């Protein structure tokens, strides 16, 4: 892997439901890796029932995620209506307080060893077109994207402290003492679903480190990748 496709994604609102919530749906701070793969599949037109087959081997697909905008959340009550029996005469309503991301923005670094997937994604990103409509978690929360270009990346292994612009999976850290909690930074650790098989069973979850406002995280990692623009990222 020497090249990655870099693109940005944003919208007015987003909702990526946390798997450990109860009655009130809460949202992740950024789309989980398995969700990003779904977005990539929507752009190039892979079938929703089989697209995960193309990403089941983690050695063939690489993804890094960056925060382009600060994480902001809002909550409001949604009226869920029962349309199973009759759409026009609605009697049953359920009010559920739901959490949303406000003005979310993300940056993705993507590579795949299958040239058909890689080249098709590059072509669609350059033309600013997608096969299916792109949304941020829910169909009502539409998203836009921008292609930043194809960049060459350089891997490096070092014991030095690095300023990482992407979110950092804990498995990439050298040890438990490899994070510098700098003054003024808001660093969080959240458990995310990372891998999923075609029948939509999550096979791997992982704690992920990130800075809420999108600032770099200073840490020591096992392997870091540097882009042409000087950004240092870590892949899942």
Token digits for 68? 């382009």
The pLDDT score that the predictor gives to residue 199 is 85
Tell me what pLDDT residue 80 has.
82
> Pick from 107, 6, 111, 64: which is nearest to 235 by CA?
64
> Does the pLDDT value for residue 23 go beyond 70?
no
Q: What pLDDT is attached to residue 50?
A: 82
Q: Per-residue pLDDT tens for 98-138? A: 999 999 999 999 999 999 999 999 999 999 999 999 999 99
Chain mean pLDDT for the chain: 92
Q: What is the number of structural domains in the chain?
A: 1
- 198 pLDDT more than 90: no
Q: Give the pLDDT band (50/70/90) at residue 87.
A: low
Task: Give the lowest-confidence range in 9-13, 21-25, 37-41, 183-187.
Answer: 21-25
pTM of the model: 0.91
**Joined tokens for residue 63:** 């993804």
Q: What is the CATH number of the domain that holds 115?
A: 3.30.70.2660
Mean pLDDT throughout 170-178? 93
Residue in this structure with the two tokens 């349309």, named with its chain if needed: 83
Domain that holds residue 68: 3-233
Give the model confidence (pLDDT) of 151-161 as tens digits.
999 999 988 99
Per DSSP, the residues of 128-152 read T--SS--BSSSTTSBEEEEEEEEEE
DSSP 178-210: -B---TT--EEEEEEEEEE-TTS-EEEEEEEEE
Exposed/middle/buried for 138, CB within 10 Å: 0-12, 13-18, 19+?
middle
Sequence-distant (6+) residues with CB within 8 A of 89 are: none
């Amino acid at each position: 892997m020497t090249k990655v496709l870099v693109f940005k994604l944003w919208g007015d609102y987003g909702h990526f439901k946390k798997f450990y919530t109860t009655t009130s749906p809460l949202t992740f701070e950024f789309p989980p890796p398995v969700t990003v793969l779904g977005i990539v599949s929507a752009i190039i037109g892979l079938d929703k029932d089989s697209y995960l087959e193309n990403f089941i081997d983690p050695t063939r697909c690489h993804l890094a995620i960056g925060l382009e905008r600060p994480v902001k959340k809002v909550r409001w009550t949604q009226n869920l209506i029962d349309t199973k029996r009759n759409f026009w005469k609605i009697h049953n309503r359920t009010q559920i307080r739901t959490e949303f991301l406000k003005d979310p923005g993300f940056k993705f670094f993507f590579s795949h060893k299958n040239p058909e997937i890689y080249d098709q994604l590059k072509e669609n990103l350059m033309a600013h077109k997608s096969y299916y409509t792109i949304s941020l978690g829910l169909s009502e929360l539409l998203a836009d994207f921008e292609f930043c270009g194809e960049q060459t990346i350089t891997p490096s292994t070092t014991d030095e402290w690095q300023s990482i612009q992407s979110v950092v999976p804990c498995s990439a850290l050298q040890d438990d003492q490899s994070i510098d909690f700098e003054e003024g930074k808001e660093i969080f650790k959240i458990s995310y679903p990372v891998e999923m098989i075609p029948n939509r069973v999550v096979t791997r979850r992982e704690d992920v480190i990130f800075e809420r406002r999108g600032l770099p995280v200073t840490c020591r990692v096992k392997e870091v990748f540097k882009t042409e623009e000087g950004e240092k990222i870590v892949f899942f």
